[in-house]
Structure 1
Amino acid sequence: MAVEIGIDLGTASVLVYVKGKGVILKEPSVVAYDRDTNSIKAIGEEARLMLGRTPGNIVAVRPLRQGVISDYTVTEKMIKYFVQKAMGRRAFSKPRISICVPSGVTEVERKAVEEATYAAGAREVRLIEEPVAAAIGAGIDISRPCGNMIVDIGGGTADVAVISLGGTVVNTSIKIAGDNFDDAIVRYVRKKHNLLIGERTAEDIKIKIGSTYPLVEEESMEVTGRNLMTGLPKTVTVTSAETEQALKEPVGQIVEAVISVLERTPPELSADILDRGIVLTGGGAMLRGLEELIEERTGINTMTAENPMTVVAIGTGQYVEFMSGRNEG
């Protein structure tokens, strides 16, 4: 009996779902390797801690950029590592792997993911579009002739899709997501406070006080970075209202993408969406105020899926069962 594995191969993190066990692995998609010997030093969380803190010969890289493989060999080793970690003792048998890709990827990019997964030791590889996997994972019955709108905001891409009868009817994929939120915060803090902060600090700010809609009570946090005037370390206080300012542009582009998909949706499905609402998934969906903002701009009730981080991985794993159910029926 082949082991069924679902992998959400994200720009920011990789989640692995094993049939019968659920999501058993969630680690950052970061690989640290030694430039001199070309050997891999660390993968996952261990490597993430090295981001921005490595000596010259060791580099910590993210092999996926905007949902697409940017470094093939490193990606292959990373997939292999996670698959073996997930399989544990049964590592000798070749698993069947379903892996998800953003809906906008090209044929060449799909092929690259497929080949890297085969090279990592898969017996069979199935590629699934991210919004479809997200919908299944969020518990939506996508086999019915009924429109559902999914907005999946990951680390590198945001996928907006209307799904009916098990497939996407209208969709768009933009390369603006969690990473761009971090960049926007870095830029804002540099401009407003003359302070240079790193990627990880920006992510911290986003998670702790990030907001895209005015909060009832303003929150703030201390942030330490390098003062650009003196070149010395300095601490400033950043507030949630400032993050709202910083995130205005990238979040605005995601809202625009949602509107553009709604404009192209067939009327029957539009009626369904107005009825059922918009579902947000992915790590980016955890940004506060996003629901309110989309609701305000579209007039459609918007909610975030439970555990938005894991729905794509769960859906990727369950997709196989969903497909086999359809084929038998």
Structure 2
Amino acid sequence: GMVVDYIGAITIVRELKEELEVKLGTELIYAAAAIPPGTDELDGGAIKNVVQGAGFYLTNILDEPSAANQVLQIQNGAVVDIGGGTTGISIIKDGKVVKVGDEATGGTHLTLVTAGAYGFSIAEAEIYKRNPDKHQELITVLKPVVEKIATIITAQIAGYKINGLYLVGGTACLTGIEDIIETKTRIKTYKPLNPMFVTPLGIALSCTAEIL
């Protein structure tokens, strides 16, 4: 997501870097990063400074859905990255990104609805939402938010021929979310076995030894 606490972000990334270096027994030198689509002018510089401030050589910055496609390798379709606060969409034609967009509505909104419906705190609702055993019960409660996400997708892809929608991001882990989106958009919708890690893996695959 976008950087709000610059110093805090550097501290977190530096601590994670050090933790991984201990576990892997090697120094991590290069890094790539991703940002919500369409926010490069607002946040690209901040992300670059955070990565460099944490001790990395930055090799690449790309939008999150495009990073996901490094794993998915879609030639024609749309990658839909449903994150915490926003839903990012990259339209891909002949293997190239032709449009990116990002709009508010994501996992945070699902958490808020869960908290309101069950009288939970935000922390309790987040834990409850992540439990796959509760998804069949939750999907009915959360359907209006998922339909809002589907409406965002429909608006972003208007005017393009889309062969399929490919869902990634932690929020896409919600069981049945793909069925609601497919019904609402009338476009075949696919979801990887574990959509949460597709974008991070794509970021890693985008990392090279060529420094920006």
Q: Give the TM-score normalised by structure 1.
A: 0.58
Supply the AA of the counterpart residue of 2:8.
V
Deviation at 1:302, TM superposition (A): 1.1
1:129 to 47, 63, 84: 63
Please provide the CA RMSD for this pair. Answer: 2.3
Alignment of 1:113-152 (within 5 A): 113-138=47-72, 140=73, 142=74, 146-152=75-81
Other-structure match for 1:110:
44
- Greater relative contact order structure (CA < 8 Å, 6+ sep): 2
Deviation at 1:286, TM superposition (A): 1.0
Other-structure match for 2:147:
252
In structure 2, runs of 5+ residues without a counterpart are none
CA distance in 2 between partners of 1:173 and 1:113 (Å): 17
Supply the AA of the counterpart residue of 1:297.
K
Other-structure match for 1:304:
191
Mean Cα deviation higher: 129-138 or 164-173: 164-173
Correspondence 1:200 to 2:123: yes
Other-structure match for 1:157:
86
Q: Deviations over 1:281-316 (max 9, x none)?
A: 111111122111111122222110132111111111
CA distance in 2 between partners of 1:187 and 1:203 (Å): 12
Deviation at 1:171, TM superposition (A): 2.6
Deviation at 1:76, TM superposition (A): 0.3
Q: Give the TM-score normalised by structure 2.
A: 0.87
More strand by share: 1
From the superposition, tell whether residues 264 and 172 of structure 1 become closer, same or farther in structure 2 (CA, over 3 Å). farther
Are 2:103 and 2:152, in contact at CA under 8 Å, matched by a contact in 1?
Answer: yes
Deviation at 1:98, TM superposition (A): 0.4
Aligned length: 207
- Same amino acid, percent of matched pairs: 25
More helix by share: 2
Q: Secondary structure at the match of 2:34?
A: strand
Q: Secondary structure at the match of 2:175?
A: coil
Q: Deviations over 1:4-30 (max 9, x none)?
A: xxxxxxxxxxxxxxxxxxxxxxxxxxx
Correspondence 1:70 to 2:4: yes
Deviation at 1:106, TM superposition (A): 4.3
Q: Secondary structure at the match of 1:183?
A: helix
From the superposition, tell whether residues 81 and 105 of structure 1 become closer, same or farther in structure 2 (CA, over 3 Å). same
CA distance in 1 between partners of 2:81 and 2:107 (Å): 11
CA distance in 1 between partners of 2:194 and 2:57 (Å): 30
Supply the AA of the counterpart residue of 1:87.
E
From the superposition, tell whether residues 167 and 83 of structure 1 become closer, same or farther in structure 2 (CA, over 3 Å). farther
Q: Deviations over 1:195-254 (max 9, x none)?
A: 3x222211232223554xxx5xxxxxxxxxxxxxxxxxxxxxxxx1xx345423322221
Other-structure match for 2:21:
87
Larger radius of gyration: 1
Alignment of 1:240-279 (within 5 A): 240=137, 243-265=138-160, 270=161, 273-274=162-163, 277-279=164-166
